Structure 1
Amino acid sequence: MLNKLIPIALTGLLLAACGETSDSAKPPPPPKNFTAESKGYYCTMNLTEHVGGKAQIILESRPDEPVWFSTVNQAFGFTRHPGEPKDIAAIYVTDLGQPNPDNSWIDAKTAYYVIESKFVSGMKTVDSVPFSDLAKAEAFAKENGGRVIRFDEMPDEWIYK
């Protein structure tokens, strides 16, 4: 009897393994473009009033309503603050290496960031400057000071400066 159950059990396991893919295999939701009504999460000011990098976080619980940020560092702070939602589906930042960065969203986790530069954001604070192209990030850092890092290298002391 046991000899008959083993092949059945193995078949069941194989069929279960062929089922739906996990949520981590789903592609992230695409970025949204901000409008005149889009307001920064922390400052509640209109994003169109600010120059410089911007960010959006799309939550799994609110896929059609991005959380908007008028600076890049605010988005990093959101991801690290223990009181903020953790069901993050995607994080996008504007690519400041593009001619029209407000409509050029890139995956925040693949971007290059210039930090510690003399750049001042639209909120009149220091901010991280995101680029999709390493050469453009390096050129910006050479001209404006600072250094180039990746998403996972962002230091807390820079975010909360």
Structure 2
Amino acid sequence: MNEASLRQGRRQFFCACAALATAGLAGLAGLSACSPAADSATSAAPGNFDGQSSCSLDGMLLGDYPGPKGQIRYRGDAQPSWFCDSVELLSTLLKPEQLKPVASAHVQDMAKADWERPQGHWIDARQAVYVLGSKRQGSMGPTAASFADVAAAQAFATQWGGRVLRFAELRTEMVDLSGGALHDSRM
């Protein structure tokens, strides 16, 4: 047995001991988390929400509202954090105080998803193109319509108004959440 094999064996042994010590026998299912490759591969893929999925910021059910949704998968978390509006996701990603390491962030391609009942069509939030200031409303009122390509975003802006921006052009003040949720008396 070579040195690398011994180190790998010791690492697996210590991971197993730690899992058993902290979570009992139920911790056996979590042993794959000891592998960095397994953690990043499974946690980065986008998921799909169901009728019970709620927004991690305000508890709103995603399926009850129109417009683009979002999800962030944080490293080490098995489940995504859902956002009932792309503005909420963007606000979370752009906050300078965001400390949790993000494995992936996804929004919906609204050129393919149904605006009133969006499902699927997930794209990388940092590669997406956004339309801010359009007449279309999301769950929080004014939203950031998300698209996989510039041509689709420009066509949307021509029809509904707004400004086309890439993720790198967005600033925190453009996705400020102090307007919608804070003044909604129904919440």
TM-score, normalisation: structure 1 = 0.76
Greater Cα shift, 49-58 or 73-82: 73-82
1:102 is aligned to 2:116? no
- Off by >6 Å, runs of 4+ in structure 1: none
**Deviations along 1:91-133, whole A, 9 cap, x unmatched?**
000111004442110011111101121221123x111000112
Question: Sequence identity, in percent?
Answer: 32
Of structures 1 and 2, the larger Rg is shown by: 1
1:49 corresponds to which of 64, 76, 80:
64
Structure 1, unpaired ranges of 5+? 1-21
Matched position secondary structure for 1:42: coil
Q: Is the 8 A contact 1:29 1:89 kept in 2?
A: yes
Higher helix share: 2
- Amino acid of the residue matched to residue 65 of structure 1? Q
* 1:10-159 alignment, distance < 5 Å: 29-62=44-77, 64-81=78-95, 84-100=98-114, 101-123=118-140, 125-159=141-175
Matched position secondary structure for 1:110: coil
Matched position secondary structure for 1:103: coil
CA distance in 1, matches of 2:101, 2:59: 22
**Deviations along 1:17-60, whole A, 9 cap, x unmatched?**
xxxxx98xx66721000011211011201111011000000000
Change (3 A) 1:85 1:68: farther
Aligned residues: 136
Structure 2, unpaired ranges of 5+? 1-35, 180-187
- Amino acid of the residue matched to residue 129 of structure 1? A
User: RMSD of aligned C-alpha atoms?
Assistant: 2.0
